[in-house]
Copies of this chain bind each other. A is one copy, B any other.
Amino acid sequence: MLRDSYGAIQLRVSTIPEEQRNGISENAVILATGTIRARPTMAQGLPTGTVEVYVDELEVLDPNKPYENPVSTRRLNINRFTDRTHNCGQLRASHAGQKVTLCGWLEYVRMNMFFTLRDGYGSTQVVVPEAVTNAVKLDGIPFESILKVTGTVVKRPYGQENGQQATGEIEVIMDSVEVLNPARSRLPIDIQEHNQAKEFLRIEHRYIDLRSAKLQHNLRLRSQIIMKMREFMINRCGFIEVETPTLFRRTPGGAQEFVVPTRKPDHFYSLVQSPQQFKQMLMSGAIDRYFQVARCYRDEATRPDRQPEFTQLDLELSFTDRHQIMSLVEGILDASWPNQLHPLQLPFPRMTYQEAMSRYGCDKPDTRFGLDLRDLTTILSSNEKMRHGVATPEFGAFAIVAKPPNGNPKTFKTALTKVLKEYPRCKFAVSVVSDSWTESSIVNLFGVRETAEIKERLKLGTGDLMLLGYGKASEAQEMMGRVRLALYTEMEERNLRVTRSVLAPNFVWIVDFPMFAANEETGQLETVHHPFTTAHPEDMDKLRSKQDLASIRSQSFDLVWNGMEIGGGSVRIHEAALQRMVLNDILQIEHSHLQHLLDALDSGCPPHGGFAIGLDRYISLICRAKSIREVIAFPKTINGKDPLSKAPVRITDEEKRLYHIRTVEGEGVEEERVES
């Protein structure tokens, strides 16, 4: 029973450790935090008699000690439910004099007198007193063995503090040590220098590599960011996290899906590539604010930096529009943005697909730097020489102007060769602007009048580097988008910084994508986002009347960060008739296997839209990791191979019989060759 000047209340303390409960005498001043619960049997006559408090934390206050807020400093206890009193990253000068027990990995021993003990939180220096040194031979214990150390915290002697180490103010004078589990000697990876090991080796022995400070940081931050996303969505916005199946049936279009044979002969599940259909059915099912940290599967074995399974923050809500969805996503990122990074500037700028393509030649522009594309098509379109071999109405010419100090066009051109090779039908020119540029040999290509016009239009000055790509407009534009990125990388590598701000994260929304695009080979219209995306409100009439389909903008939108697409979403079609028309008449997709979705739209389905963030990519960007494999605990390498367990592996004939399958030998050799 706890009493103050306002009254008294019953505390239930069975939940807290016994050592915290013991030693509390009557009339002690106590600080308790906990949860109010209904009391099984009411206490008559006590105003608080219907409730009791389940105590989470209990502290006996010393009236001479300064008051500490228990919520901020004491609610997180990383050492609860373990045999240690503190972890290896925790001790500070304020702990001096305390008896502690630490558990961790033996990292380093010096002369049997000092060693460091490391765990996922940091490392602590332990001093072995002479009396103990005689009994314990630390030199014989392999590095990375697991020790349990008890001792007393002392401040390090003046001048011996280590400012680089969080625990550098103190050391622990050892009383006793126990080897809980010895490691074998000479492990394949050195934790301190794990980056020097080949990536295959690091994944093969992932349980060692994970101990490195970098992977510890990445995985711990990943957990925190996703938790903060959940807190915002659930506790602030009332979203419901719903788990949807991964064993489903083939979705039309999209990526290749893994298949899973079943006990029913010739019947297979497909592993979902996203919860798209389920989340739309949830909207029809009145789960109007859904999200899920969803596992998704795509069999894209040969694409670099992809995993056969990956995680996305998948969300959908009803009665909304694209502007509100974009605000929601901004809110999620802001609420989960790591404090130590440069704060986000909200709202993120929005750019139409059209502008992105014309300024950056790319629908996921890296907006950290300029080097914008400049359209010279009108100036050069009557140049017969340049148009030679290019389809008449589709000619385009796009320039980039760079101002590298002492830029040598030849070295840049070399660096761009890889890009240029991929566009054999386009042409490319590069020129350094001289004082007499308009009279130089460049006029042989552009013409005299045109060269002067270009110089004026682009405000070219002496020493500027002009890069020009031309040919079929869409190809030349795309090529120059790639040239822009290659030029940026090249300049950055030579320390010719062109970035506007290194710190500020450059997020940008790309909106107003075209809804349909013609397949280059067949001419058949295909959807640019996915077949469930609806049209821009201003273009809805065109869609309903099936007029001028190629010009229709959709309500899809992508979120781009530093030139990487980290998520995409759209407002969906919520009318069954319209969805049927789009599938049937426009996309000509067989839709009998989407009957459940059409039925859901037809049974009372709210207008809705949603978004998905690729968490592996997003968190790898936050962690400035070289690859998404650096933010995944157990990644696979290219071709979906797992060096750790050696999966995939052969299975028994018995299992194959169970699933009514037989391996076809000889066939598929071609794919095998592509793979390896």
Contact = CB atoms under 8 A, between A and B. Distances in A.
A412 interface: no
Contacts of A227: 230, 234-235, 241
Given A241-B226, A327-B81, A649-B250, A235 B664 contact: no
Contacts of A237: 76-78, 80-81
Interface stretch (A153-161, A444-452, A554-562, A594-602): A594-602
A314 interface: no
Interface stretch (A283-291, A365-373, A481-489, A525-533): A283-291
A111 interface: no
A317 B669 CA distance: 45
Nearest to A328: B81
A82 B343 contact: no
Contacts of A38: 339, 343
Interface stretch (A428-436, A515-523, A639-647): A639-647
A268 B651 contact: yes
A263 to B, nearest CB: 5
Contacts of A103: 318-319, 606
A187 B258 CA distance: 35
A181 B287 contact: no
Contacts of A297: 247
A281 interface: yes
Contact of A207 (B144, B285, B649, B656): B285
Given A15-B331, A263-B672, A634-B244, A236 B76 contact: yes
A411 B208 CA distance: 65
Nearest to A648: B267
A239 B399 CA distance: 53
Contacts of A265: 663-665, 667-669, 672
Contact of A282 (B148, B210, B245, B261): B210
A263 B207 contact: no
A607 B103 CA distance: 10
A119 interface: yes
Interface string A625-659: 00000001110100110101111111100011111
A145 B575 CA distance: 11
Given A265-B663, A308-B247, A346 B15 contact: yes
Contact of A634 (B83, B278, B603, B645): B278
B657 A667 contact: yes
A301 interface: yes
A639 to B, nearest CB: 8
B288 A120 contact: yes
Interface residues of A, number: 160
B299 A648 contact: no
A649 B308 CA distance: 22
A246 B309 CA distance: 8
Contact of A667 (B208, B309, B504, B660): B660
Interface stretch (A130-138, A166-174, A216-224): A216-224
Contact of A642 (B75, B245, B339): B245
A309 B343 CA distance: 40
Given A81-B324, A240-B219, A668 B658 contact: yes
A618 interface: no
Contact of A287 (B234, B259, B301, B633): B633
Contacts of A207: 281-282, 284-285, 596, 599-600, 603, 605
Interface in A124-147: 144-146
Contact of A299 (B187, B226, B263, B599): B263
A211 B263 CA distance: 33
A650 B334 contact: no
Given A103-B318, A655-B259, A663 B664 contact: no
A260 B249 contact: no
A84 interface: yes
Contacts of A282: 207, 210, 633
A427 interface: no
Nearest to A267: B648
A197 B499 CA distance: 63
B262 A648 contact: yes
Contacts of A327: 81
Contacts of A244: 633-634
A180 interface: yes
A235 B37 CA distance: 21
A240 to B, nearest CB: 4
A672 B264 contact: yes
B208 A220 contact: no
Contacts of A288: 82, 119-120
A660 B650 CA distance: 13
Interface string A562-575: 00000000000011
B260 A260 contact: yes
B236 A56 contact: yes
A219 B249 contact: no
A362 to B, nearest CB: 28
Given A78-B238, A328-B81, A664 B660 contact: yes
Contact of A205 (B183, B262, B603): B603
B76 A238 contact: yes
Contacts of A193: none
B675 A238 contact: no
A261 B210 contact: no
Nearest to A79: B238
Given A78-B238, A144-B603, A146-B606, 15 more contacts: A83-B321, A180-B606, A181-B606, A187-B603, A207-B603, A210-B281, A211-B285, A220-B240, A243-B295, A256-B658, A260-B271, A267-B648, A657-B668, A658-B671, A661-B663
15 contacts: A37-B343, A75-B236, A78-B237, A82-B288, A181-B606, A207-B596, A210-B284, A210-B287, A227-B234, A227-B241, A265-B663, A278-B634, A281-B634, A660-B664, A660-B668
